[in-house]
A and B are shown apart, each in its own frame.
Chain A
Amino acid sequence: MKSSDDSTSKVSPNAIKRVWEAPKNVRATSPWYGSAVSTAIVGGVLSLIVLVLIVLNHFQVRVILPKLEKELEVLKEEIRSQPDNEQLLSRIRQLDLQIRKMRIRRLDRSRKGSYLLLGSLVVLLIGVKWADTFKKKMPAPRLEQDKQDEQVRQAVRARWAVTAGLAALGAGALFLALPADIDFSGAGARITSYPLAEEINRNWPRFRGPGGLGISAHTNVPTNWNGRTGEGIVWKTKVPLPGLNSPVIWGEKVFLSGGDPNALEVYCFDALSGGLLWTGDVKRAPKPDEEPFEAREDTGFAAPTVVTDGRRVYAIFATGDVGCFDFDGKNLWNRGLETPDSAYGYASSLAMYRNLLLIQYDQGAVEDEKSKLIALDGFSGQTVWERKRPVGNSWTSPIVAKVGNEYQVITVGDPWVISYAPADGAEIWRGKFVGGDLAPSPIYANGLVFAIEPYTKLVAIRPDGRGDVTKTHIAWSVEDGTPDICSPVGNSELIFLLTTEGLLICYKVADGTKFWEKDLETYFRASPSLVGDSVYLLSEKGTMFIIEAGIEYKELARCEMGEGCCASPAFADGRIYIRGLENLYCIGKETP
């Protein structure tokens, strides 16, 4: 010990004695030591019991409850198709109540158990600490040893420990850095989840092309071919299953769908060679509580045209089944909507806005309130929004148009023409302009929306209104013999209507002045298309009439397919794709 002249720093023997001896004396004589140990034991045992009970409770929450919840989910799925099943409803309510009671009871037990556990641990700690006061740790300095060597050894070991820590950190960093990183700018990454306008306009992604207007961006399409002799026919490929839907083109792929009672299929053809690249099978969703589906003779299984966003292709069938495939033919998702209640069979084609797949699902009578407009997320197939429509069944297809700075989904059903905001389905405007069995789809030209009431009238609507615009936003209307099937086509000056019986009429877009009409003396079901200054009209017999888009009628060419046609043609760079009743044709030059 270090000695000092200062008397206050001297340690008296008594002081040392107190440090060494006092605990020994207390330990030997205290009667409370036993109590302290007993307290600790009681606390420990109680803690253990409560802990086991808490773990059991937690186990029940993790294992038993999820099973019941799964059962409830199944019942909820069933109730969708049987909404009037009271027994099922009652079972769902009972099970739901049972689950809630169990969960709340378990939560309550968990909470009370936590308090109990805390309390028993406190008792345990008090007991142990109390017992420890009677067994104080005696100072026990180590034997005197070579301090110098020991301290040197400690320093060496400490340096190695730090170096080992450094190595461990380095190894950890290496391990973390090993997996391949995702490079957002990589070649494989698509930079957008939906196509931009330029991309859309270069292709023919839906019924009647970009925007559903029937206008081709490519004007270098053929004007002369003969399907019987093969002149101008690049290729011709049999389509496996029948359908009235029109070809859809994206890049070097052409898409169609077909269906029969056994299969609903989507086809992908090579645009250059006509080879069938893949066939996608859309699974029919089981609907045990519905009547077996019978396709209508007019429309069959596959009247609606598919739609593509350049990443995926989507198809809907008359059964209400929707399928989505990637461009390699992999089935990404399917949805089974309720079988549409449609007098002539469901025929509305699909539309897209950004990543949203738009389905105009008009059915039944107006008072049935079954009709709706549905937006599905193209990537996952999940419903993003759904809006009820106050219309009866129709066979028109929606279009998406940019009106001013906003996009509108414009729909035609009996008796309303309704515009919706595509992002959330909010109604923008509606007008009671049409009625009857509506099949011609609307178009947007020269800042006006055109809707047709078959046999009766053509209406031009200003789409900048809000709410009910029936009385305020009609630009003009003409009451004339109007088409019952074919949709119109127009540009900034002229609009062309084509009736099923072959009457072609030309109006002035600005005010509805009729310029001319011409009876082509044949039947048409395909809608007319505008290619530059020409109008292409495809008859049921497969004759393509090419007319000048002018204020006077002038026929430019007439070409024969050699096969009946009901579907509207699709246009690409230097090519036309036409679906006949049995084959898909590519018309153009061998090398575009």
Chain B
Amino acid sequence: MIRFGHIIVGVAVLLSLCAVVPAVERFPPPEFESGYERPSPTTPHPRQDIYEYIDVVVLLTALCLSSYLVLRNRSRRAIFILMVFSLLYFGFWRKGCVCPIGAIQNVVLSVFDRDYAVPIVVAAFFLLPLVFTLFFGRIFCAAVCPLGAIQDLVLLRPVSVPNWLESGLRLFAYVYLGATVLFAATGSAFLICRYDPFVSFFHLSGNLNIVILGACFLVVGVFIGRPYCRFVCPYGVILRQLSRVSKWRVTIAPDECVQCRLCEDSCPFGAIREPTADWPASEYNKSKKRLAFVIFLLPVLIFIGGWIGSGLRTVTSRMHATVRLAERVYLEENGKVEGTTDASSAFRATGKEVKELYAEASNIRAEFGLGGWFFGGFVGLVIGLKLVGLSVWRQRTDYEADRASCLACGRCFEYCPKEQVRLKKAKEAIGESQ
């Protein structure tokens, strides 16, 4: 009996030691008598893996909830509350990292670099919103994305942007997406992370230029709804395309639109499309020719775009640290600049041959040349398709939320009298009558 008890005690001690050992640092830092606490050098602070998986679960839950609130519950208040939660959790608590927007780069890099494996959490952050968008529309933008949430909160005096201007400005998001993919694929830079305007707010510190950029976005966002989401966000470009074919989507009226026009200017994001008039007879022939011309122009735009993109290889390749170093060393070696930089001094200290560096830089430039074809071709394609889309006359009989542009914020619901009827009926159903 005693021996059995000793065994139990021994096992318990061993188990508790096992629990303690992983927590003991191999090389513990000195203990300061003054109570000084070492600051963590990384932001966000490194965490145990379990918390990363908890983030994925929270993301999934938020997406499910957002889908329900947008499509079933149709409550702007509930969407707002979820949006605030997302801002607090994914923004200020998780410091905005990992985010689905930046995850594009990780996924692209993993495709082009065999030595890089995208973490499963990052892949989940990238894929889950896309999958939900494919089914439910842009519910991620509605109440889960912290970048959208912070802009939505500061939207106080919305001013509508003319549709034609929006068409032009939206091009930037496509160019940004193309550039992001190019630089991530070549292992040069993570543009989205580098120029995320709101990350410094989430970190409560950051590069001054980025803080100013973020502040500008927020100031603009007071008047123009979600400027980053509408004109810059590269992830939004992908969500727009998926949302066009989503199985379910936001509708302004809960059932049939009665065309009362009360929702016309209810959307601060210009996502409501009015019913269209019949095709004007005078425009018909002109439009056909224009459409034919634009379709013919499409491959030309793709080719020219690719040619320009490839031709800019010496410029775009400068995003790569090795090319920048090679150019700097070249200028120093040929006496075109004074002094040295830390990078060039460090390079010379390695004793590596300059010609090896030049060869490496030349190879990277060649990669950018090839990538530039795809980047420029993509931009040409987007512009061409945009022109094609603007040359096609779309028939609409009801007021609709634009499938691609609608951010599913739910602001338009309360403007619809059918929605009021539905709410009254719901209140009556639970015993709350007027």
Binding site for B on A (CB under 8 A): 1-2, 4, 6, 8-9, 11-12, 15-16, 18-19, 58, 110-111, 114-115, 118, 125, 128-129, 132, 137, 139-142, 147-149, 151-152, 154-166, 169-170, 173, 176-177, 181-182, 184-185, 188-194, 311, 326, 330, 354-356, 377, 379-380, 382, 384, 423
Contacts and interface: CB of A to CB of B under 8 A. Distances in A.
A191 B311 CA distance: 25
B25 interface: no
18 contacts: A1-B259, A9-B418, A18-B417, A19-B415, A128-B156, A147-B277, A154-B163, A157-B164, A166-B171, A169-B171, A169-B175, A184-B330, A185-B362, A191-B358, A193-B329, A311-B333, A379-B333, A384-B349
B260 A147 contact: no
A190 B417 contact: no
B168 A161 contact: yes
B117 interface: no
Query: Which 3 residue pairs are nearest across A and B when measured between Cβ atoms?
Result: A161-B168, A157-B164, A148-B277
Interface string B215-250: 000000000000000000000000000000000000
A159 B390 contact: yes
A156 B308 CA distance: 27
Interface stretch (B128-136, B186-194, B262-270): B262-270
A148 B421 contact: no
A308 to B, nearest CB: 16
B261 A162 contact: no
Given A159-B387, A189-B334, A380-B339, 6 more contacts: A19-B415, A129-B153, A151-B277, A177-B315, A193-B333, A193-B348
B420 A380 contact: no
B345 A162 contact: no
B251 to A, nearest CB: 14
A184 B358 contact: yes
A20 B333 CA distance: 75
B262 A19 contact: yes
A188 B332 CA distance: 12
B311 A110 contact: no
Given A16-B260, A115-B204, A188 B164 contact: no
B49 interface: no
B417 A118 contact: no
A5 to B, nearest CB: 11
A164 B354 CA distance: 44
A485 B318 CA distance: 55
A158 B262 contact: no
A169 B379 contact: yes
Contacts of A157: 162, 164-165
Contacts of A114: 204-205
A184 B333 contact: no
Contacts of B353: 192-194
Nearest to A141: B261
Interface in B320-347: 326-327, 329-335, 339-340, 344-345
Contact of A380 (B201, B327, B340): B340
A297 B308 CA distance: 70
Contacts of B332: 379
Contacts of A8: 255
A110 B205 contact: yes
A176 B421 contact: no
A132 to B, nearest CB: 7
B288 interface: no
B98 interface: no
A135 to B, nearest CB: 11
Given A128-B156, A158-B167, A181 B314 contact: yes
A16 B414 CA distance: 11
A182 B265 contact: no
Contact of A159 (B260, B308, B391, B421): B391
A287 B167 CA distance: 69
Name the residue in B255, B332, B349 with the highest tally of chain A Cβ atoms < 10 Å from its Cβ: B349
A185 B175 CA distance: 31
Nearest to B294: A159
A1 B399 CA distance: 12
A184 to B, nearest CB: 4
A11 B258 contact: yes
B421 A184 contact: no
Interface in B391-411: 391, 393
A379 B340 contact: yes
Contacts of A19: 262, 414-415, 417, 420
